[in-house]
Amino acid sequence: MTTPHQSAEAELIAYGLTLPETEAGLGWAFTRVVRVRGKMFVILGDKAQPKNELTIIVKLPISFEMVQELYFVRESRGWYRQHDWVIAHFGPDDDILAELPTLKAWMKQSYVAMAPKTLGRQVSEA
């Protein structure tokens, strides 16, 4: 049986693959990623994460400060904080499906930040 978190991850990866020149694959040992021309713009998963939880990491240079107070955003530290990467974690009781529009918008912002300028402009102007 698929959990809402697994469904959300599948939908987010599918959305990421609609953006120009993207590919999905494995990140570090326990993560899945979506890349644009080899650069990660979304990281999914965490070490030993149960199927009814999901961690998502995206680069948000525009809205990094604004999203810090959301209940599902964890404090970014070190390199992540310095480079405006946001860590969102959804536990078993969180309604991750309700947050999909927000997460897709974050993925788009992260894509624009990581993609070559010509690709980023295509997406931000669309």
Q: Could you tell me the residue range of the domain that residue 22 belongs to?
A: 4-115
Q: How confident is the model at residue 80 (pLDDT cuts 50, 70, 90)?
A: confident
pLDDT surpassing 90 at residue 109: yes
Number of domains in the chain: 1
Bridge partners of 54, per DSSP, are 90
Cα of first residue to Cα of last residue in the chain, in angstroms, is: 36
Residue 29 or residue 111, greater confidence: 111
| pLDDT tens string 85-104 | 999 999 999 999 999 999 99
Q: Which helix (H) or strand (E) holds 43?
A: strand 39-44
**Percent of the chain clearing pLDDT 70 (strictly above):** 100
18: domain CATH number? 3.90.1150.30
Domain membership of residue 122 (yes or no) is: no
Which residue type is seen at 22? T
- Residue 62's alpha-carbon distances to 79, 110, 125, in angstroms, are 17, 9, 16
| pLDDT tens string 38-56 | 999 999 998 888 899 999 9
